[in-house]
Amino acid sequence: MSRRPIIAGNWKMHNNREESKKLVCGIKEAIKDIDKDALPEVVVAPVFTSLGVVADEIATCGCGKIKLSAQNCYYEAKGAFTGEISIDMIKDFDAKFIIIGHSERRQIFSETDEMINKKAKAIIEAGLTPIICCGETLEQRELGVTDSHIASQIVKALDGVAPTDVANVVIAYEPIWAIGTGKTCDSAEANRVIKGIRATLAQIAGKENADKVRILYGGSVKPETIKEQMAQSDIDGALVGGASLKADSFVEIIKGAM
């Protein structure tokens, strides 16, 4: 089963409009001579306030090589939800993806599996693709509950999603102890966990649909690590934080995934 790789940059709470424009222009410039079909699907996720400027840059390049993602959303369509952004508001910028369930949102903003499930269903309903993050803490890894914890996160996130829709979601396996720490999860171990995620997806949606799901690894991905990660049977790309904030290193990761 061949799955098109994805390299997604999560810019987190970095970059004002000018900095965002500079970064996306740098990426655009560096990949302009590469054939689109040779590239992985390249995704950037700026802060909400930079969606417009990044969307404009992506649109003027007209090559469809870079796709836009948001880092979060709210699942209700509109109403008295001060400070929240709806999926339609994100869609208005022609974004194709929305990251949900990032460990920073789960831990710092107390997002629950139930909220993540509501977001996943609303994103799919709107015709966008959720990038659903999952991952264990160091404590859970040391207790030996990594696999059961992740299976539970996946089952809860996809509760009530039709099997054919499951095929189109993107999952990011991000061990929390590897995010922003410089400690990358051993590639073979990341692949083992990701195979487990695919087995869980097969139980939920059948093997044929599970085999279509792109599952990314995230956690201190760097230009030096991407080749080995992409060489694994079940790793279909990367969700990149720190190394996506500089065009040079992000583009090296993109090239490493080709």
Q: Which residues are catalytic?
A: 102, 174
Q: Could you give the CA distance from residue 68 to residue 226 in angstroms, rounded to a whole number?
A: 22
Q: Which residue from 40, 101, 130, 219 is in contact with ligand PEP, where contact means CB under 6 A?
A: 219
Q: Among residues 7 and 122, whose Cβ is nearest to ligand PEP?
A: 7
Structural tokens at position 19: 């900095």
Q: Which residue from 132, 221, 247, 257 is in contact with ligand PEP, where contact means CB under 6 A?
A: 221
Per-residue HEC secondary structure of 105-128 comes to HHHHCCCCHHHHHHHHHHHHHCCC
Q: Among residues 5 and 242, whose Cβ is nearest to ligand PEP?
A: 242
Quote the least distance from Cβ 208 to ligand PEP, whole Å: 29
Q: Which residue from 40, 135, 241, 256 is in contact with ligand PEP, where contact means CB under 6 A?
A: 241
Q: Could you give the CA distance from residue 114 to residue 218 in angstroms, rounded to a whole number?
A: 23
Does residue 136 touch ligand PEP according to CB under 6 A?
no
Does residue 239 touch ligand PEP according to CB under 6 A?
yes
Q: Among residues 51 and 167, whose Cβ is nearest to ligand PEP?
A: 51
Site string for ligand PEP, 157-186 (x = CB under 6 A): -----------------x----xx------
Q: Which residue from 176, 194, 240, 253 is in contact with ligand PEP, where contact means CB under 6 A?
A: 240
Does residue 196 touch ligand PEP according to CB under 6 A?
no
Does residue 215 touch ligand PEP according to CB under 6 A?
no
Structural tokens at position 68: 């836009």
Q: Could you give the CA distance from residue 112 to residue 98 in angstroms, rounded to a whole number?
A: 17
Q: Among residues 46 and 242, whose Cβ is nearest to ligand PEP?
A: 242
Of residues 29-48, those binding ligand PEP (CB under 6 A):
none
Please, are residues 63 and 89 in contact by the beta-carbon 8 Å criterion? no
Site string for ligand PEP, 2-21 (x = CB under 6 A): --------x-x---------
Q: Which residue from 242, 247, 255, 256 is in contact with ligand PEP, where contact means CB under 6 A?
A: 242
Q: Give all strands (DSSP E) within the chain, no chain letters.
A: 6-10, 41-45, 66-70, 97-100, 129-134, 170-173, 214-218, 237-240
With CB under 6 A as the contact rule, which of the stretches 20-28, 106-114, 119-127, 239-247 interacts with ligand PEP?
239-247
Q: Could you give the CA distance from residue 130 to residue 27 in angstroms, rounded to a whole number?
A: 23
Q: Could you give the CA distance from residue 52 to residue 133 in angstroms, rounded to a whole number?
A: 24
**Alpha-carbon distance values, 227 to 170, 212, 252, 258 (Å):** 20, 22, 10, 9
Please, are residues 47 and 13 in contact by the beta-carbon 8 Å criterion? yes
Q: Can you give the binding site for ligand PEP, defined by CB under 6 A?
A: 10, 12, 174, 179-180, 218-221, 239-243
